Structure 1
Amino acid sequence: MVMQDGVPPLVGCMIGPWDHSFRALRATGECVIAVPTVDLATKVVEIGNCSGADIDKFEAFGLTPVSAKKVNPPLVAECLANFECRVKDDSLVDRYNMFVMEVVEAWVDPERKERRVIHHRGDGTFIIDGRVLDLKKKMVKWPAYVQ
């Protein structure tokens, strides 16, 4: 979730302590948040049903690792966007499993044809992005944010 839309951008991410990703993030303080599109939905669920402690998910699911610019974990070439992150605040981890991370580099694939992202609703159901609602003219209080 977006926690600060500014400089630096901050995102919150909840990860359970039973996940390999939790232990890796605690150990390294770095991660990449990859943003998949709807064409990867089935693969996303399959990836979530196994552990990186047991298998190489890039190899097992035919994904392409790409070297990140500012963190050690790789980007996922097949994703629409990738956010290189470093843990900024871990004070909420013990109580809520919530990491506050600073986005140190962001990537978007301008060539990617599929741009609809998926949002997990729980229990294996997802919502797919679709129609754009443009309300830029209503953004009178924060005109600096309107491009």
Structure 2
Amino acid sequence: MITTADFRAHPLDQVHRLIEPGPVILLTTQRHGTPNVMTNGFNMMVRHAPPMIAATVGPWDHSYRALVETGECVIAVPTADMAATVVDIGNCSGADVDKFQRFDLTAVAAREVEAPLIAECHANIECRVADTSLVGPYHLFLLEPVRAWTDPSRPAPELLHHRGDGTFTVDGPVLDLKERMTKWQYLL
């Protein structure tokens, strides 16, 4: 019989390393005409149709005030080749530096929101804040995508996933199990 004695205890403050939430994203905002970008590793899909995304952005983040005041952002999905830039973006504050200029990022005007897209990213998702009821207790914003864009020159991008300890994994081989998705054919 297997018991908990057969396992090793894992520190609760490192549980996030066991269930990684999703790819690292860059979240852009714009406040008083000034764009900003932050690195975000705590995000997840909440629902696929209609789509809903959750992202943790706290008052310690310079982007927090812009997100609260404007109620909109862009989720830009960088690829693995941007890993060093993604980490460096997260190591400085938009309160002190123009991150678009410092990291040579190309801001592209969005269609539905004021926050810019990032041309160097594989995908950009324009979002509006849909629900703030979890912001107070958990710093969790529920975001409703209103328009999405992908770069057709990157049909199979390798996304970057933070492991919570300064190490990252990169998307690997794709497993095609579509024929087994009998209950969810409408998603295919």
Query: TM class, shorter-chain normalised?
Result: over 0.9
The residue type paired with residue 131 of structure 1 is P
Superposed displacement of residue 68, structure 1: 0.4
Measured in 2, the distance between the counterparts of 1:113 and 1:89 equals 32
What is the aligned residue count?
145
Check whether the contact 1:38–1:114 (CA below 8 A) recurs between aligned residues.
Answer: no
Gaps of 5+ in 2: 1-43
Superposed displacement of residue 113, structure 1: 6.9
Measured in 1, the distance between the counterparts of 2:55 and 2:121 equals 18
TM-score normalized by the length of structure 1: 0.95
Gaps of 5+ in 1: none
Measured in 1, the distance between the counterparts of 2:72 and 2:93 equals 18
Measured in 1, the distance between the counterparts of 2:79 and 2:60 equals 26
* Aligned residue number for residue 17 of structure 2: none
Cα RMSD (Å)? 1.1
* Aligned residue number for residue 54 of structure 1: 96
* Aligned residue number for residue 2 of structure 1: 45
Report Cα offsets for 1:17-48 as digits up to 9, x if no partner. Answer: 10011111011100011100010000000000
* Aligned residue number for residue 16 of structure 1: 58
Q: Match for 2:174 among 132, 135, 139? A: 132
Measured in 2, the distance between the counterparts of 1:113 and 1:137 equals 22
Matches within 5 A, 1:25-36: 25-36=67-78
What percent of counterpart residues are identical?
A: 58
TM-score normalized by the length of structure 2: 0.75
Measured in 1, the distance between the counterparts of 2:168 and 2:84 equals 11
Check whether the contact 1:37–1:114 (CA below 8 A) recurs between aligned residues.
Answer: no
* Aligned residue number for residue 142 of structure 1: 184
Deviates more, 1:122-131 or 1:56-65: 122-131
